[in-house]
Structure 1
């Protein structure tokens, strides 16, 4: 017997690919940022030590995107970060690089028609909606 389940098409090869709204992406970032402020408060004063929540955010992105393809904020807003070329996970190294680039902010605001910021294009990633 053959498997009749449809094989997902990678975003790069899908002419009908539609990225999730910027509102969902921003909502996920706000949720993740609040979590990072709370976590960094355990070992530093986020107001005095501005590096602490940024460090936690970079590490959160590296671990959660690398292993699960979504951060807690992305889970709540039903989006994922996948490989543009094959639709799989981006892995720990690319997720870490994506987190560092996201912390620089500027790459995130320069987007293409698929709402891929420079941080996405440099790491070969894309944000997609999560099926219900």
Structure 2
């Protein structure tokens, strides 16, 4: 949750600077940050700061489609509120990803 809060705070900061704190811009910036940073550094900025990274459960590079699907689902919030016994959110299950400690 702390990683999410950090990422959301970054999105709000960018939105406040460039879009006069538009709620729609907050969400769009949040999703874009996820899509850009997950495939490039293996995690969002918030994830990295709290010692987490995102992996593909199938191994190898996470690719581009997994972060896009995961981030879009995370943006609508409902899949993130549903999780299984492994504590993986529905957005991670659909994308085939898992958030792990580094």
TM-score by length of 1: 0.73
| 1:72-118 deviations in Å (ceiling 9; x for gaps) | 111111001110121x3322222121111001111011111221111
- Structure 2: gaps (5+ residues): none
Residue equivalent to 1:39: 14
CA distance in 1, matches of 2:15, 2:80: 23
Q: How many residues align?
A: 102
Residue of 15, 39, 44 corresponding to 1:71: 44
RMSD: 1.1
Residue equivalent to 1:28: 3
| Higher normalized helix content (fraction of residues) | 2
CA distance in 1, matches of 2:81, 2:66: 19
Secondary structure at the counterpart of residue 99 of structure 2: strand
1:39-58 superposed matches below 5 A = 39-46=14-21, 49-58=22-31
CA distance in 2, matches of 1:31, 1:89: 24
Residue equivalent to 1:22: none
Secondary structure at the counterpart of residue 100 of structure 2: strand
Residue equivalent to 1:21: none
